[in-house]
Amino acid sequence: MKPPKPTQFLGRESYRLRRLMDAARLLPVIGFVLLLLPLMRHSPEMEAPPTAGESVYLFAVWAVLILLSLLLSIWLRRALEPHDEPTRSDRPSESGD
């Protein structure tokens, strides 16, 4: 049942793609950590919470995440294509739809 052994070393192109996939997996983790930063920033002694500053920070992080995600989705689109081909032809019932 084991699939054929994947090759151990890849060409430059596919290597780059693999690392982009790693980046895509890492992005939400980094995003989560960045979003937790406000928790560590203020102390309970302050009378009014610095809501305005924090909201600017949070929206900035949000915007950066969106931007990075946009770039990654453009780059990773290539990785989606080869997967798509076999599955489409694999579905015999498609013809009856």
Minimum CB separation of residue 16 from other proteins in Å reads: 15
> Which of 11/29 has CB closer to other proteins?
29
Minimum CB separation of residue 7 from other proteins in Å reads: 13
Minimum CB separation of residue 79 from other proteins in Å reads: 9
Minimum CB separation of residue 74 from other proteins in Å reads: 8
The binding site for other proteins (CB under 8 A) comprises 1-4, 6, 21, 24-25, 27-29, 31-32, 35-36, 38-39, 42, 44, 47-52, 54-56, 58-59, 62-63, 65-70, 72-73, 76-77, 80, 83-84, 87, 91-93, 95-97
Query: Do 47 and 95 form a contact (C-beta atoms < 8 A)?
Result: no
Question: How many other β-carbons are positioned within 10 Å of the β-carbon of residue 52?
Answer: 8
The 3-class SS string of 4-53 reads CCCCCCCCHHHHHHHHHHHHHHHHHHHHHHHHHHHHHHCCCCCCCCCHHH
Query: Do 42 and 49 form a contact (C-beta atoms < 8 A)?
Result: yes
